[in-house]
A = this chain, B = another copy of it.
Amino acid sequence: MPRAITAFSNPLVKQVRDLRDKRHRREQGRFLAEGLRILTEAREAGRLPEIVFFGRESAGHPLAEALVAEVEAAGGEAIETTADILAKLSGKDNPQTVLGVFAEFPTALEALDRSRSPIWLVAERLRDPGNLGTILRTGDAVGAGGLILIDECVDPFSVEAVRASMGALFTVPVAQARWAEFLPWLRAGPGQLVGLSLDTATDYRSARYEAPTFLLTGNEAQGLPADYAAECDLRVKIPMLGKADSLNAAVATAVMAYEVLAQRRIA
């Protein structure tokens, strides 16, 4: 049976509210996902929250009821609460009516199985949580084996990244590694490292991609460091006809990933 929390002073409210902050996520080993749509994606991917909060408005919704029942059956906690407390937890005036608290996933490189897919996404010093989430969503769509985050990237468990992923955080494996760890891991098996670069004459449409392809996108403002680009098996560029000198990082990753996918589908 769900229990009810109606008091702001309940210590769990503060504890969950704190998950909007990276330090608290690391301390608690947990993160927050908002919205019935994303939580349903998670459930269908076999990921249940430890705690699910829901408001009265969602109480009769079949997907919300299924979620609550599964969380409780798995030994988790379901908590009915007020719109005010949901707003406090989510930091928004118009909060989603369902929130889940999940245990963070392990993100070690070693957990990845490169035979899982011919396409992998790799992002270096990605700073924007919206871009990270959008890249995960693209990764889901192209059937990527996972997203590997290199060096200091934004936290994939941030509320903004989870939201922008539209649930893909639960379906696309994420790893975090330093470049100095990633490169030996990559070279220990098959894999073509393809760097998106401005300093090349090779058009991304004329290049030929070998499976598994690891698509490497650099930092939003600075692109790839030259020494990282130099380690790539192939450097390609996306043509740009306008005044700007770069595309949004999530857009560039998607244009590349769909080209690789198209070549796989024809091959």
Q: Residues of A at under 8 Å CB distance from B?
A: 41, 44-45, 130, 134, 137-143, 164, 166-168, 171-172, 205, 238-244, 246-248, 250-251, 254-255, 258, 261-262, 265
Residues of B within 8 A of A142 (CB): 241-242
- Would A248 and B138 be within 8 Å (CB), given that A243-B45, A255-B254, A255-B258 are in contact? yes
Residues of B within 8 A of A166 (CB): 244, 246, 248
- Would A244 and B130 be within 8 Å (CB), given that A238-B258, A251-B254, A262-B205 are in contact? no
Least distance between A155 CB and chain B CB atoms (Å): 19
Residues of B within 8 A of A130 (CB): 130
Taking a contact as CB atoms under 8 Å apart, the answer to whether B244 and A168 are in contact is yes
Residues of B within 8 A of A205 (CB): 262
Q: How many copies does the complex hold?
A: 2
Please give me the 5 A-B residue pairs with the lowest Cβ-Cβ distance, nearest first. Answer: A140-B242, A143-B241, A251-B254, A141-B240, A134-B248
Minimum CB distance partner of A242 in chain B: B140
Interface of A: prevailing SS: helix
Taking a contact as CB atoms under 8 Å apart, the answer to whether A243 and B137 are in contact is no
Residues of B within 8 A of A261 (CB): 239, 241
Q: Which one of A41, A166, A247 has the highest number of Cβ atoms from chain B below 10 Å of its Cβ?
A: A247
Least distance between A259 CB and chain B CB atoms (Å): 8
Taking a contact as CB atoms under 8 Å apart, the answer to whether B248 and A167 are in contact is no
Contact of A167 among B41, B239, B243 (CB under 8 A): B243
Taking a contact as CB atoms under 8 Å apart, the answer to whether A137 and B244 are in contact is yes
Least distance between A246 CB and chain B CB atoms (Å): 8
